[in-house]
Structure 1
Amino acid sequence: MAATLTLLKLPFLPQKPSNSQSKLRITSSKQYHLPNPNEESNPHHKIFIQTIDRLNSASIPLATLAFPFIFDSQDALAVNGELGLLEGRTAALIHPLVMGGLFFYTLWAGYLGWQWRRVRTVQDEINELKKEVKPIAVTPDGSSPAADLLPQSPVESKIKQLTEERKELVKGQYRDRHFNAGSILLAFGVLESVAGGFNTWFRTGKLFPGPHLYAGAAITVLWAAAAALVPPMQKGNDTARSLHIALNALNVLLFVSQIPTGFDIVLKVFEFTKWP
């Protein structure tokens, strides 16, 4: 049974013209018995009135704590500076600044990941080269007098070079550094992606579907998908590793595509907002 709850005209809620009503419709298979404030005989009347009085006297507007999507476009919270700093230029510029930093941090995380991959691939190269080294005859006691007299072959020289390179790469601890960088990127990236959408809502009362919004949503999804591949990667799954690299490469391309659209949005922020 559908029940309709009419939002009261509280002081802290955005008001509409007098000829319209703001309604929140709740639909369920169960029956909801809502107290009628106009019925003095209703046993819940007193509790209902006390609750409304407490909401009206709240020091923090509860409307600012509600999710914007429960209102329609005419109920937008961001009107006439009701949200203060959240509608100002300072809050609007946080998103482009943070995302700009995360773009360069993405490149850094990619470099760390490539270096960690190099640690593994160098070892594979060494193992393949060792198969090409010809065995040297040894005496029954295990010594090889001729080994010291023979010049080092090109294959052995390459093995020595790669071994030294791998030792230096291992000292860089790229595995742990890449994992930490990816975790930070995932956490702050998802947080700021969502915060950017909310900031647009706070300032304008709506979102603007377009290349910037679509690319931002795709980047957020790719962050999550790439992170989900970490467990199989840790078990040595090469397919997961290749897919992880491909997703992050696509992520970087999408990030680059957002630079011109993001710059246009920043110009509009300076045009339509004021400090702070």
Structure 2
Amino acid sequence: MAANIFTPRAYIASQGVTNRAASLSRPFTAKLSKQSPRAAQFKPARSQAKTDRQGDAQLPVSAALAGLLAPFLLDVDPALAVNPLLTGKTVSLVHPAIMIFLFGSTAWTGWLGWQWRRARLIPAEVKELKAQLPKPDAEGNRPRSPLDQQIAELEETRKALTKGGYRDKHWNWGSLLLGLGVLIAIEGPVNTYLRTGKLFPGPHLYAGAAIVVLWAAASSLVPAMQKGNDTARNTHIALNTLNLALFAWQVPTGFEIVQKVWELAPWP
């Protein structure tokens, strides 16, 4: 009897509680049995297994994110994680090869633009020369003048320039120069970084960045030029002239880099 007094029912009976009160104590005893040490022993294990399963499901995503961020967070040579084809001579020489083409394209595009400018300005020049011709006499006859031959030559020149389609050619080559030029100008530094893990600030890099800015600035003036804004036209010409001069100045430094790539970069 002494041992049973420690059970909930025996304890209630010893205190003289009624059967009604004893029945009310049953949920309490059931709760105590559910929270027994043996049940509590297995509950953390089930929770831990559930957590492990969730961790296993999330592991691929975490691993993928870690793989993407690792090159930015760790001091690792980017060339070690890149396909060797992208860092070899073949791809590395794409930049200088296309830049030589773009240098010639810049001069060619400027010449096409100048021809279109001539065709556009000739009518005003002809009008000015015609105003200088001698006045006709009372019978409507006008004496011959050396200006007549000059006017005829200018009109023939304008016809030839108009048939040449220099305006459309200038626009087409300018669009190619802007699109391909910006692409290759970005490709060069990216290729350098993939090969060496760093960039080399200097005249070539700074001049290349300035050329891209001048391309964009000159192109942004086209809408105003189409509306007849002479200030925009003159600024467009000035920017492209500066661009060509900067391009020519940059060529020797580019050849120096090409020599280093040829000596140090592996094939292919």
Shorter-normalised TM range: 0.7 to 0.9
Distance, in Å, in 1 between the alignment partners of 2:233 and 2:212 is 19
Q: Which amino acid aligns with 1:240?
A: A
Contact 1:200 1:207 in 2 (8 A): yes
| Residue among 26, 32, 41 paired with 2:51 | 41
Q: Retained in 1: the 8 A contact 2:134–2:145?
A: no
* Structure with a larger share of its residues in helix: 2
Out of 215, 220, 244, the residue aligned to residue 212 of structure 2 is 220
Cα pair distance change 1:155/1:72, threshold 3 Å = farther
Contact residue 73 and residue 206 of structure 1 kept, 8 A? no
Query: How far off is 1:127 after superposition?
Result: 1.2
Q: Deviations over 1:79-105 (max 9, x none)?
A: 3x7422011111110000000111001
Of 41, 57, 61, which residue of structure 2 is paired with 1:51?
A: 61
Amino acid at match of 2:252: P
Deviation track 1:204-224 (CA, whole Å, cap 9, x = no partner) reads 011110000000000000000
Q: Given residue 184 of structure 2, which amino acid in structure 1 is its aligned partner?
A: E
In the other structure, the counterpart of 1:264 is 256
Q: 1:43 offset after TM fit, Å?
A: 8.9
Question: 2: CA distance between counterparts of 1:83 and 1:157?
Answer: 67
CA–CA separation in structure 2 for the residues paired with 1:114 and 1:39: 77
- Which residue identity is paired with 1:119? A
Gap regions ≥5 residues in structure 2: 1-47
Q: Quick check: 44-53 or 208-217, which moved more?
A: 44-53
Distance 1:259 1:274, change over 3 A: same
Larger Rg: 2
Q: Please name the residue that 1:245 is paired with.
A: 237
What letter is aligned with 1:229?
L
Q: What amino acid maps onto 1:51 in structure 2?
A: V
1:189 aligns with 2:199: no
CA distance in 2, matches of 1:251, 1:73: 39
- Kindly provide the amino acid, as one letter, of the partner of residue 110 in structure 1: G
Q: Once the 2 structures are TM-superposed, how far is the Cα of residue 111 of structure 1 from its aligned partner?
A: 0.7
Q: Does structure 2 conserve the Cα–Cα contact (< 8 Å) formed by 1:85 and 1:91?
A: yes
Task: Tell me the CA shift for residue 77 of structure 1.
Answer: 1.7
Q: CA RMSD in A?
A: 2.6
CA distance in 2, matches of 1:115, 1:255: 22
Q: Aligned partners of 2:227 and 2:190: how far apart in 1?
A: 38
Mapped partners of 1:95, 1:50: distance in 2: 38
The answer to whether structure 1 residue 169 and structure 2 residue 179 are counterparts is no
Deviates more, 1:41-50 or 1:206-215: 41-50
- Give the TM-score normalised by structure 2: 0.75
Letter in 1 for 2:59: I
State whether structure 2 residue 106 is matched by structure 1 residue 106. Answer: yes
Whichever residue aligns with residue 134 of structure 1, its letter is P
Separation in structure 2 between the aligned mates of residue 135 and residue 107 of structure 1, nearest angstrom: 44
> Is the contact made by 1:73 and 1:205 (CA closer than 8 Å) also made in structure 2?
no
Greater than 4 Å deviation, 4+ residue runs: none
How far did residue 134 of structure 1 move? 3.2
* 1:249 match: secondary structure: helix
Task: Find the counterpart in structure 1 of residue 266 from structure 2.
Answer: 274
TM-score (norm 1): 0.73
Structure 2 counterparts to residues 129-148 of structure 1, below 5 A = 129-137=129-137, 144=140, 146-147=141-142
- Amino acid of the structure 2 residue aligned with 1:104: G
Distance of aligned partners of 1:265 and 1:156 in 2 relative to their CA distance in 1, 3 Å threshold: same
Between 1:99-108 and 1:118-127, the stretch displaced more is: 118-127
Q: 1:73 deviation in Å?
A: 7.8
Which residue of the other structure, out of 225, 232, 236, is the alignment partner of 2:228? 236
Question: What corresponds to 2:192 in structure 1?
Answer: 200
Query: Structure 2: how far apart are the matches of 1:85 and 1:170?
Result: 48
The one-letter amino acid of 2:213's match is: V
Q: How much does 1:45 deviate?
A: 3.0
Consecutive unaligned residues of structure 1, counting only runs of 5 or more, are 1-37, 57-61
